[in-house]
Amino acid sequence: MTELIRYTAAETASAIAKGEVSAVEVAQAHLDRIDAVDKKVNAFLHVDTEGALKAARAVDEKRAKGEELGPLAGVPLALKDVFTTEGIPTTCGSKILEGWIPPYDATLTSRLKDAGVVILGKTNMDEFAMGSSTENSAYGPTGNPWDLSRIPGGSGGGSAAALAAFEAPLAIGTDTGGSIRQPGAVTGTVGVKPTYGSVSRYGLVAFSSSLDQGGPCARTVLDAALLHEAIAGHDPLDSTSIDAPVPAVVEAAKLRDVRGMRIGVVKEFAGEGYQTGVMQRFNESVELLRELGAEVVEVSCPSFTLALPAYYLIAPSECSSNLARFDAMRYGLRVGDDGSRSAEEVTALTREAGFGDEVKRRIILGTYALSSGYYDAYYGSAQKVRTLISRDFDAAFAGVDVLVSPTTPTTAFPIGERADDPMAMYLADLCTIPSNLAGNAAMSLPVGLAPEDNLPVGLQIIAPAMADDRLYRVGGAVEAALNDKWGHTLLEEAPAL
Amino acid sequence: MNLVSYEDALASYDPVMGLEVHVELGTKTKMFCGCSTELGAEPNSQTCPTCLGLPGSLPVVNAIGVESAVKIGLALNCEIAEWCRFARKNYFYPDMPKNFQTSQYDEPIAFNGYLDVQLEDGSTFRVEIERAHMEEDTGKSSHVGGATGRIHGATHSLLDYNRAGIPLIEIVTKPIVGAGERAPEVAKAYVAELRELIKALGVSEARMDKGQMRCDVNLSLRPNGTETFGTRSETKNVNSLRSVERAARFEIQRHATVLTDGGTIVQETRHFHEEDGSTTSGRIKDNAEDYRYFPEPDLVPIAPARAWVEELRAGLPELPRVRRARLQAEWGLSDKDMQSVLNAGAVEPILETIAAGAPADQARKWWMGELARRANETGTELSEQPITPAQVARVTALVAEGKLNDKLARQVIEAVLAGEGEPDEVVEKRGLAVVSDDSALGAAVDQAIADNEAIAAKIRDGKVAAVGALVGAVMKATRGQADAARVKDLILERLGVEGQ
């Protein structure tokens, strides 16, 4: 039974479809695993045992009736606690939403349910997805299954850790500046930020609306592709949703062939601040791609050096507005309502008590950046940088099919190390942010361990908007070649919990 | 405060006005979600995650809202943006679920237009339009426990979000200069004309009494002969035509009083008081409030296709000004008479009465006479009187058929208003038909002649004008139910005198 938790999503679905195992057995195996290890990992904020078993039973009944099952029917999934789930708490890792039970499902949530995916529970995250370590959660940090004293990345550390700890074969993250890819990189898992607008944001509690994008997290490229297909596609409830067919990502993941592809190495993502072992594994990956028949060229994207400051103006600006609704009037925490205070005072006290430091820091930053007299210099300039970054990408993609870089400059750092140094923390997203600003697609997949600390290193692949399939084509080929070389998957090297 | 007289104020100062009018569109659903916009529903029964601003919810633009905005823009002779965006106006208030209002800022859907308004003297004044933009309404707060219903002194507040998200169009004028002493009249005429226009477009009922149309009056004074604008006050939520005029007038006098005393005007919002037509200070705006506007990232830009805009332009209904001129010509009215019809709100009832078969002059006579008087006395709209144009038309038909005379018709109208039923039923029940039976009348005529032999003799002698007294006697005897003309003929016939 313990073997069930090591199955990939594709294997799990196939075993259920063939009747080799029931969806309930699969769900129970994962619930048992969560029970056994999550006290240590703290990947989950809420485990929905009853809901998961009910969903699994529904799949089994469907199969018993001879109905056709979807490609992910019965596969368990860990859902980042930033998507609304009807009847199930949704906290976004914040005290201000403690106890809030949404009356509606996010579009992504209902698509998962429709696909027969079994939602095990909601995963830990940096408060409102602001952070790169999951230390900003109001509910305690999540440990990295490779070394529980280290961060699992963030903001989607809970989702990535749940995969690496074999608590779920699939997870959902959201990526505003790297919150899917960076946790993927530091936990040795696969994470994809789809093209902006390809996965509905309806029911995704907004951090930065123009950057937020939900996406798949998995242990294999194919599993990520299967999940990608299940959640992507036009949603009339999200005005920014793209009304176009989803690229054939599953097909691309199975191709395992990069011959003739042109791959650009982003020159700017190297040098000072990049860990030796990270660069070593990255350079080996580039070499591997060349061996596999791809043409590798160096590409310069000079504006990328401005991405981080631009991001830290745009994202906080939007967040300052998006988070204004948490005012204690309609839902969530309410502090100081003893009959002696005005609504304004209760709102102020609630926000003071309910938001953590990083959230407050960004609200203040964004409020300032949008203020009259500063708008042009800050928000306005940042939007111009955004345009420059998009142009750099356009120029690069005119000559190459995908770009590659390390996903993060370093491997997982110890919990607490950067907690009081926001600037150091922000650098973790240096390589991932440009894709959010440009709205294109990017993936991180594991390419080995850094020799100096034996911690996972991620390779980032970036594709033009709506060419998400290229990520899977390149990622699938790299993954297959590395697994062949190692004789096993990287996660099998992770220490037992 | 002793106010400078209006005349004295104008002797020294030149008023500059800006009018901001909010119109609630009559769309079936809200601006950014599918909730109903029906008025009068149970509080918070017409809400969803989006209009409650629940975490994760997103807006989707109401296409009819955009179409209405474009129609209004076109009717106001505006340019229609080829590309525009929504923006977030950020401020905290409990009746605003997201604590930002989705509005438009520097990219309105319509801009640079004008509206010609007609003043009482028949002259035309052109009010230039700065912009018309789309936004959403807020919820409604009611403050409980205080004496006044205002937030001051209240123990708690209740929030109703049914109104939150109802589409609004905000129409902002450019500074209205050059109106001089007629500024208050221009303000009233502008709002009245705008209301007619909105109604004609069919995009809103534009009922000011129901808050479907709300007006802010911004006003400043500058010394006569100078160019620079003075500091303005913003009088909020002035919600009737008369109040718009009064508020402008009061502010002119108040500003002049302050300035004459050597004081300075504070930029502030002011509340208007219906009771005495005064305004009082609301909150001070030391600087322009910082709403931290930025483009709404949850909505994609709106780019109204030129062909579609032209299609809407071609489909615009006859606009009120044009229609008024046409009706005035058709009805053969003087400017003054037409103005009275307009002021009474009688155009539609008259038209409908004509459509139901009444002659134009008869239709106008009833609506502008009896019914207008009643509306005035009861403080109600003419269109709200408990009588239909069809019923009025039926009464005029009964008169034309000779079944009712003027006096009886009046009684029938009153009975219909009193809820006694259809005109024919009233005639039947009350036995009000004109006595046209000559034998019955003949007896009354003979009696009248017998009772008034002296007068009858005069008539026989040729003083035909004296017949009035006898007619009066007959009418009295028949309790007014006789046809006076017929009575006159019968008397003259009996007396052997030729009618003149």
User: What is the secondary structure of B192-208 as a DSSP string?
Assistant: HHHHHHHHHHTS----G
Contact A91, A123 (CB under 8 A): no
> Could you write out the DSSP letters of every residue in A303-314?
GGGGHHHHHHHH
Look at residue A78 and tell me whether its pLDDT is greater than 60: yes
Evaluate whether ipTM surpasses 0.90: yes
B59 and A106 within 8 Å at the Cβ level: the answer is: no
Contact A186, A488 (CB under 8 A): no
B55 and A325 within 8 Å at the Cβ level: the answer is: yes
The interface residues of chain B toward chain A in range 129-158, judged by CB-CB distance below 8 A, are 155, 157
Chain A positions touching B299 (Cβ under 8 A) are: 239-240
- CA dihedral (A122, A127, A131, A136) in degrees, to 10, reads -100
The interface residues of chain B toward chain A in range 81-100, judged by CB-CB distance below 8 A, are 88, 90, 92, 94, 97-100
A375 and B294 within 8 Å at the Cβ level: the answer is: yes
Write down the pLDDT at residue B288: 58
Indicate the domain borders of chain B.
Answer: 6-311, 344-430, 438-494
Look at residue B275 and tell me whether its pLDDT is greater than 80: yes
Chain A residue with CA closest to B95: the answer is: A329
Mean pLDDT of B305-323: 95
Residue range A420-440, pLDDT digits in tens: 888 888 888 999 999 999 999
Look at residue A116 and tell me whether its pLDDT is greater than 50: yes
**Annotation: CATH topology of A2-261+441-493:** Amidase signature (AS) enzymes (3.90.1300)
Closest by CA position to A123, among listed A97, A154, A150: A154
Write down the pLDDT at residue B436: 64
Indicate the domain borders of chain A.
Answer: 2-261+441-493
Residue range B82-99, pLDDT digits in tens: 999 999 999 999 999 999
At B115, which helix (H) or strand (E)?
Answer: strand B110-118
Please state whether the predicted TM-score (pTM) of the whole model is above 0.90. no
> Could you write out the DSSP letters of every residue in B355-420?
HTT--HHHHHHHIIIIIHHHHHHHT--GGGSSS-HHHHHHHHHHHHTTS--HHHHHHHHHHHHTT-
Look at residue B499 and tell me whether its pLDDT is greater than 60: no
Chain B residue with CA closest to A318: the answer is: B297
| Cα–Cα distance, A415 to A142 (Å, whole number) | 9
DSSP code, position A55: H
Mean pLDDT of A236-261: 98
| Cα–Cα distance, A494 to B104 (Å, whole number) | 53
Residue range A441-479, pLDDT digits in tens: 999 999 999 999 999 999 999 999 999 999 999 999 999
Structure confidence at residue B2 as a pLDDT band (50, 70, 90): confident
| Cα–Cα distance, B70 to A450 (Å, whole number) | 61
At A167, which helix (H) or strand (E)?
Answer: none
Chain B positions touching A202 (Cβ under 8 A) are: 56-58
B300 and A90 within 8 Å at the Cβ level: the answer is: no
Cis peptide before A155 (omega within 30 of 0): yes
| Cα–Cα distance, B498 to B500 (Å, whole number) | 6
> B395-400 contacts: CB < 8 A, separation 24 or more?
B395/B366, B395/B423, B396/B353, B396/B357, B396/B358, B396/B359, B396/B362, B396/B363, B396/B366, B397/B357, B397/B358, B398/B423, B398/B424, B398/B427, B399/B362, B400/B359
Q: In what order do the strands lie in the sheet with A170-174?
A: A44-47, A118-123, A76-80, A170-174, A214-218, A190-193, A441-450, A455-463, A402-406, A262-266, A295-299
Report the residue count for chain A: 497
Closest by CA position to A265, among listed A427, A455, A459: A459
- CA dihedral (B382, B386, B391, B396) in degrees, to 10, reads -50
Residue A239 sits at φ, ψ, to 5 deg, of -65, -25
| Cα–Cα distance, B173 to B217 (Å, whole number) | 10
Chain B positions touching A331 (Cβ under 8 A) are: 54-55
A interface residues, B as partner, C-beta within 8 Å: 83-84, 90, 92, 97, 100, 102-104, 106, 201-206, 208-210, 236-240, 317-318, 320-321, 324-327, 329-331, 339, 343-344, 347, 367, 370-372, 375, 379
Write down the pLDDT at residue A1: 44
- CB-based contact (8 Å) between B290 and chain A? yes
Look at residue B210 and tell me whether its pLDDT is greater than 70: yes
Chain B positions touching A205 (Cβ under 8 A) are: 55-56
Strands B213-223, A402-406: pairing is unpaired
Chain B positions touching A387 (Cβ under 8 A) are: none
Closest by CA position to A482, among listed A466, A493, A470: A493
Lookup result for tokens 């201000």: A96
B56 and A367 within 8 Å at the Cβ level: the answer is: no
First-last CA distance in chain A: 17
* Partner-chain residue, chosen from A106, A326, A330, that has the shortest CB–CB distance to B56: A106
Contact A289, A474 (CB under 8 A): yes
Write down the pLDDT at residue B479: 79
Best CATH choice for the domain B438-494 from the list 1.10.10.410, 3.90.79.10, 1.10.287.130, 3.30.450.90: 1.10.10.410
